[in-house]
Amino acid sequence: MVDIADRAGVSQSLVSIVMRGVPGAGAETRERILAVAHELGYRPDIRAQMLRRNSSRLLGVTFHTQHDFHGDLIAALYRAVAPLDYQLALSAVTPDRDEGAAVDDLLSDRCEALILLGPGAQRAALHRLAGTLPVIAVARSVRLPAVDVVRSAEAHGVHRAVDHLVDLGHRRIAHIDGGRAPGAPERRRGYRDAMTRHGLADEIVVVTGGPTEDDGAAAARTLLQSAAPTGVIVFNDAGATGVLEVLRREGLRVPDDVSVVGYDDSRMARMSFIDLTTIAQDADRLAELAVARAIERATGAEPSGSREQIVVPALVVRSTTAPPTRTSPAAPRGRRHR
């Protein structure tokens, strides 16, 4: 900045004024300074800015490198802060770098608020953290009075799935749940409620599954041994993929014989040969709300809504759901291969 000031024959303060784009400099001077700055390849030192301003305008974000959806959320977060004159500081949690370490780095960066994607931290640690600076948990419910939560309406997503299958004419609709995975109880409840609402309480079948394809596959085998649903709503896309595989191996066609709905709209669901009907979380909306809330808390503004903000997910219809055919088998036809 001093260099620019010298070269332009002005004081350093004026350069600062121009660089920040605040009023207080003549148009001609402004232009000259900008020209010199460009010529010198000047780039403001954000650390010095932060230091002096005593405000970082930095939002810390932790994400998991193995979660595809976190990638989508990061993209959405950048979109959300872009017009806001805030910056994002990213810190990854990986198999050998836990959330605590990720948060520590962010704290050293003097972030003004923390946005935790799918936080897995201990309640106690989270509580302590929230005492230090605003903490927003995204895509995972945290029942802690000091932590803001922005998440999807899990139950609602399953309602949409049930509605969709019922609209198509299905009645025998089963649910392969997520076992003890986060979100599983909500989705299970959503299934039960929606079935009951449609007068299908007698058709309720819940099989214990889990979050992986293998869980889904195992549950599908169990399911085929007893009930014979025409529609299956699976806890998530990974599980649904496992279900699809088992159905195919058993000679059942999807969606002709059985319709399958996943949850998450993961990359996998979009692959053309899977092309799974699923429930998509609204990453943009989640990100918007998280950023808005983070900034509100950081600036001490008393937030408008409640601590917990819930975003409605959407049904994405692809090719694994269709009306039940009259000839839908009551039981598997037996294996074709092996």
Partner DNA sequence: ATGAAAGCGCTAACAG
Partner DNA sequence: CTGTTAGCGCTTTCAT
Minimum distance of its own copies from residue 268's CB (angstroms): 7
Distance (Å, whole) CA 14 – CA 53: 17
Minimum distance of DNA from residue 245's CB (angstroms): 55
Piece of the chain touching DNA by CB under 7 A; list 46-54, 56-64, 66-74, 135-143: 46-54
List the one residue from 15, 17, 32, 72 that touches its own copies (CB under 8 A): 72
Distance (Å, whole) CA 203 – CA 174: 8
Question: Which of 32/70 has CB closer to its own copies?
Answer: 70
Q: Are 239 and 213 in contact (CB under 8 A)?
A: yes
- CA distances to 88, 255, 266 from 276, rounded to whole Å, are 33, 10, 9
Q: Strand (E) positions, 208-329?
A: 231-234, 259-261, 278-280, 308-311, 314-316
Q: What is the DSSP letter of 23?
A: S
* Binding flag, residue 193, its own copies (CB under 8 A): no
* Binding flag, residue 44, DNA (CB under 7 A): yes
Minimum distance of DNA from residue 26's CB (angstroms): 3
Task: Tell me if residue 107 falls in helix, strand or coil.
Answer: helix
List the one residue from 5, 107, 146, 206 that touches its own copies (CB under 8 A): 107
Query: Among DNA, its own copies, none, what does residue 66 contact (CB within 5–8 Å per kind)?
Result: its own copies
Q: What is the DSSP letter of 304?
A: S
Query: Among DNA, its own copies, none, what does residue 331 contact (CB within 5–8 Å per kind)?
Result: none
Distance (Å, whole) CA 284 – CA 297: 20
99: its two tokens: 């959330």
* Binding flag, residue 337, its own copies (CB under 8 A): yes
Minimum distance of its own copies from residue 247's CB (angstroms): 11
- CA distances to 1, 59, 76, 80 from 88, rounded to whole Å, are 25, 5, 12, 10
Piece of the chain touching DNA by CB under 7 A; list 5-13, 73-81, 84-92, 163-171: 5-13
List the one residue from 14, 76, 238, 294 that touches DNA (CB under 7 A): 14
Looking at residues 116 to 145 of the shown chain, list those that interact with DNA (rule: CB under 7 A). Answer: none
Q: How many CA atoms lie within 13 A of 324 on its CB side?
A: 20
List the one residue from 31, 36, 49, 142 that touches DNA (CB under 7 A): 49
9: its two tokens: 């024959």
List the one residue from 48, 75, 201, 271 that touches DNA (CB under 7 A): 48
Q: Are 99 and 93 in contact (CB under 8 A)?
A: yes
* Binding flag, residue 299, DNA (CB under 7 A): no
Question: Which of 9/169 has CB closer to DNA?
Answer: 9
Antiparallel, parallel or unpaired: β 113-117 and 231-234: unpaired
Query: Among DNA, its own copies, none, what does residue 29 contact (CB within 5–8 Å per kind)?
Result: DNA
Distance (Å, whole) CA 136 – CA 140: 10
* Contact residues for DNA, defined by CB under 7 A: 1, 9-14, 16-17, 19-20, 23-27, 29, 42, 44-45, 48-49, 51-54
